[in-house]
Amino acid sequence: MKQAEKNMSVGQLARRNRGLRGKGSFMTGAVTALWLTLQGTLGGMPGLAQEAQRDPLSYSDLLQKMEAGEVSRIEIDPVRGVAQVQLEGESEQNARQEVTLFAGDRNSELIEAARQNNVDLEVQRSSDGSAVAWLIMHGLVIFVLLLVLMTVIRRRPMLLDKQ
């Protein structure tokens, strides 16, 4: 048997092993599909291991805590419509609480209360992805138009030959 395999050409060996290769590729595909499915389902597991968050701070609770002097710093993000609040006496990592702000409101009441109670106030705009989305969308339109143009240019000589 070994002597016969040595005398076979590479093409003959490939044809002989073609059946085994088909079964292996099916198994590889099945294992890959299973792996991707498990990653999708179990991907959120580290989130479950995090400690439970405290009760979210409401806008009115934030104003009351500011008047009581329990707030040391506020960072307002007008793009997302939230404020990151740091309470007095807590470390920066653990003390950040997110408060949802009123949509479309300039939050003048919150800013005025922060100034009256000597709370550090900072406005930080998060990045807005609309410019990137605009570029991608227009780039895609230009790409499709170029593909159509190239197709027309390639077929034009064939259409002229038929006439």
98-130 pLDDT, tens digit per residue, is 888 887 777 888 888 889 999 999 988 887 777
15-55 pLDDT, tens digit per residue, is 665 554 555 667 787 788 878 777 777 665 555 555 555 67
Q: What is the CA radius of gyration of the chain?
A: 32
Q: Is the pTM of this model over 0.75?
A: no
State percent of the chain over pLDDT 70.
Answer: 72
Cα–Cα distance measured from residue 113 to residue 76, given in angstroms and rounded to the nearest whole number = 14
According to DSSP H, which parts of 73-119 are helical?
92-95, 108-116
Residue showing tokens 């705009």: 125
